[in-house]
Chain A
Amino acid sequence: MHTKSIAELSAALRGGDVSSVELTRYMLQRIKTTGESLNSFITVTEELALAQAAVADQRIAAGEATPLTGVPIAHKDIFCTKDVRTSCGSRMLADFVAPYDATVVGRLQSAGAVMLGKTNMDEFAMGSSNETSYFGAVRNPWDGATVPGGSSGGSAAAVAARLCAAATGTDTGGSIRQPAALTGITGLKPTYGRCSRWGMIAFASSLDQAGPMTRSAEDAALMLSAMAGFDERDSTSAERPVDDYVGGLGNPLQGLRVGIVKEFMGDGLDAGVGASVQAAFDALQDLGVELVDVSLPNAGLSVPAYYVVAPAECSSNLARFDGVRYGHRCEAPRDLEDLYKRSRSEGFGAEVQRRIMIGTYALSAGYYDAYYLKAQKVRRLIADDFRQAFERCDVIASPTAPETAFKLGDKANDPVSMYLQDIYTIAVNLAGLPGMSVPAPAADGMPVGLQLIGNYFEEARLLNVAHQLQLATDWHRACPPGF
């Protein structure tokens, strides 16, 4: 049952082979037993899940089911969920119970999806290994000694280990795609503005975007169809209709031009990963795709630009966590300044504090032009690179991450090498484009991700390419041993 895709589960539920309550109970049991060692969930909402499943069963019986009705999923703990703890992986919000639902959560709930719980993540989505979580590191189901990637590491591990049919993630610099790559699943970061950010705890507002993490492109299409759409509560959400993601999956790829980013295939790329990604390119070629070389000459500036813009925005976004209204408050503050200093020093972990410091510095009087403004200029240059590249191709392809999953603790004390995990994904966020990671052949038994990048709002095309690739290959079907 746990190996079934969303479409298969949906058929089974509608056919009466299994009820949502049975399915939910089964998955909850898997989380507690098989999945226990992964630490992929911060909160399991057993009672709520069974209640939602019961409602779903009624809907199915009444013939009012959507493809997601009764399907058990999980939410990254960055999404506010009404009356359920929403920690964002931080001590700061370790006891925070959200008073409202994020739009993405509400939409999936309306579609009938059952929430099993909230998944682990890097604290405030800052990290690429899930090691910065206050609730402990998540283990990669493919090798318990390695990381699942981050920041959506809990969602990635849970989906890869078949603890839920799908999960939500968020991606600010690669936080859906890199963990998807490291755990061998499919992850899609939509165009900036495609999914509402209402209720998604902000890290870097101009980059954050929610997306689905699934075991196939088809499942991602089903999830995104429910998640995407204009939301008047988010001024940056796109006021345009949502495409038919499922309907376009079957389109043939004949004649499609796929651009290979030459800057992403050179130095810094692990040889094994390079070979796997090449194999995926070849498979695309076999499907009738024309491979062309494209260049993103300013892509090398994306990591430094990102590490100005994202911390700058985070330094401001995280100012609300001051111990005054909610969240962690230090014991017996002497005065206001002590309240601020100790609440924040105790509530935030080292990586969050580092980024707040960097961002505060970058926005300071006298440095703003040199850092923040310059980084914004770099963003425009990078967006321009993509615009030119898309004149030569329809979809861009590259590796998702430079290497396979690394050992827990390996990069924990080397922030720069950790930041380079996102060297191929960050440019996509800076430009606001949709990006996807789909499994390529494994390297030394560990998953590798192929990144597909589309033009603005061309999620349907990305899903189409990924689905055709998955019809022709079985890389996405690989299951971590023991799960």
Chain B
Amino acid sequence: MQWETVIGLEIHTQLATQSKIFSAASTAFGAAPNTHAALIDLGMPGVLPVLNAGAVRMAVRFGKAIDAKLAKRSVFARKNYFYPDLPKGYQISQYELPVVGEGQVDIVLDDGSEKPIGVTRAHLEEDAGKSLHEDFHGMTGIDLNRAGTPLLEIVSEPDMRSAKEAVAYAKKIHQIVTYIGICDGNMQEGSFRMDANVSIRPRGQQAFGTRAELKNINSFRFLEKAINFEVERQIELIEDGGKVVQETRLYDSTKDETRSMRSKEEANDYRYFPDPDLLPLEIDEALIAEVIADMPELPDRRRARFESAYGLSPYDADVLTASRELAEYFETVAAQGGDAKLAANWVMGEFSAALNRDGQTIGDAPVDAEALGQLVGRIHDKTISGKIAKDVFAAMWAGEGSADAVIEARGLKQITDSGAIESLVDEVLNAHPEQVENYRQADPGKQPKMIGFFVGQIMKKSQGKANPQQVNELLRKRLS
């Protein structure tokens, strides 16, 4: 039997507001337990939620970024269930009328073709707190710092057909939400969490199979592994005559398996109803216009611009627009250095390699965009060669100062004085009369290769500082 995989994702993105969605408490990560929990977050008797307008603006921004329908009027609803880290006994979410309606994003498949993935909806909701089971013998600690943190839950259509597509879609959403600045995208801190609805069906069949929901996956790698494990599990189950049951499953990354958390029968009846403490959320044209006016350039558009304005290859443009930070870094380097292609090579080459090697982010890299731009400028204006520039970069990375300072301190300035180069060339030719003779006798087709020997000798003599272009020109003249 040929099986087809069907996947839909629910992605919880933590919105990058300063304060919580219904209280003035800070959303900062990592504070001492319960120090960022206001009366509202504690669910004190008599408290009332007040909607954070910043969170609404961010939801609208996302809606516009994926060209989705925006609800002029959406409604907050209460999702009722008991849990110790859910202080009110209900989560304020949106149910029947979400703020963001249908939209679409395009993902690029392995063969380079594009595939549209439907976004069903995105709704605003508050996060719950955390239960801490360690450190408390026989008890559970509750930390409500996270309670009330604003989330935008982005729900896709079941449009993905493989774990790879699911990862491509998730990465695309991650790229969009970080680009438009509504989410810091930090997956370790839980700012971007994914649930995958996975089912299989015989290829060609229209009806969906029974799905399992894989909860709370916080890395793209785990997403791929969890889906692949789950698909295999379902195939084996069905082929052994079993049936997939609708249930929630947890992915265990240490064992690389999914296991049942609760079945449909055990599922809560959430008793959703409109929250009477909050008025319906009205989105007017003025707000939409404001959001559009300060919408940053989106990745797809930026990629196209990088190709046309800088003459970059589609691949380079894609790599450089992967994140807003990288794209902005590149643009600064290109502007400063005066050579976009050179800038692209340096950002994707030495700079990215150094980041990876040291496990650093762009924000805390020791060489900022202006500094790298200066270095690229020195290559561009022929002050140093590309080869020397690598040493200069390493010195800059090690904290030895700006490109100019390193060049100056180490005396790396390229020799471009023709008299100096002439004497270098003459010295080398005089020292190797045999090779000169061989060159002159050689087949013209082989000569370009043979000239490399002389270039190498001259560069060695000049400690790499002779301008290679001038050296080549002069050599050809002398050897002809």
Contact = CB atoms under 8 A, between A and B. Distances in A.
B229 interface: no
A315 B276 CA distance: 13
B351 to A, nearest CB: 48
A319 B276 contact: no
B92 to A, nearest CB: 11
B298 interface: no
Given A235-B50, A322-B82, A96 B45 contact: yes
Given A312-B273, A319-B88, A324-B84, A93 B45 contact: yes
Nearest to A88: B45
Contact of B82 (A100, A102, A319): A319
B78 interface: yes
A370 interface: no
B43 A325 contact: yes
B50 A368 contact: no
Interface residues of A, number: 44
B271 A360 contact: yes
Interface string B34-47: 00000100111111
Interface stretch (A150-158, A201-209, A474-482): A201-209
Interface string A281-317: 0000000000000000000000000000000110110
B273 A372 contact: yes
B48 A197 contact: yes
Contacts, number: 99
Contacts of B279: 235-236
B97 interface: no
Interface in B25-61: 39, 42-51
Contacts of B49: 235
Interface string A340-366: 100000000000000000001001110
Contact of B46 (A80, A325, A340): A80
A93 B45 CA distance: 10
The A contact surface, by secondary structure, is loop
A312 B275 CA distance: 11
Interface size class, chain B: 20 to 34
A198 B23 CA distance: 13
Nearest to B270: A365
B42 A325 contact: yes
A320 B88 contact: yes
Interface in B58-111: 78, 80, 82, 84, 87-90
Nearest to A312: B273
Given A233-B48, A319-B82, A325-B42, A313 B269 contact: no
Interface string B192-235: 00000000000000000000000000000000000000000000
Given A202-B46, A313-B276, A364-B271, 20 more contacts: A93-B45, A98-B46, A99-B44, A198-B46, A205-B276, A233-B48, A233-B50, A235-B50, A316-B80, A316-B89, A319-B80, A320-B88, A322-B89, A324-B142, A325-B142, A326-B44, A363-B271, A364-B269, A368-B271, A372-B273
The 6 closest A-B pairs by CB, nearest first: A319-B89, A363-B271, A206-B276, A205-B276, A199-B46, A320-B43
21 contacts: A80-B44, A98-B45, A100-B39, A198-B46, A199-B46, A202-B45, A205-B276, A233-B48, A235-B48, A236-B48, A313-B276, A316-B80, A316-B90, A316-B271, A319-B80, A320-B43, A321-B45, A322-B89, A340-B82, A364-B271, A368-B271
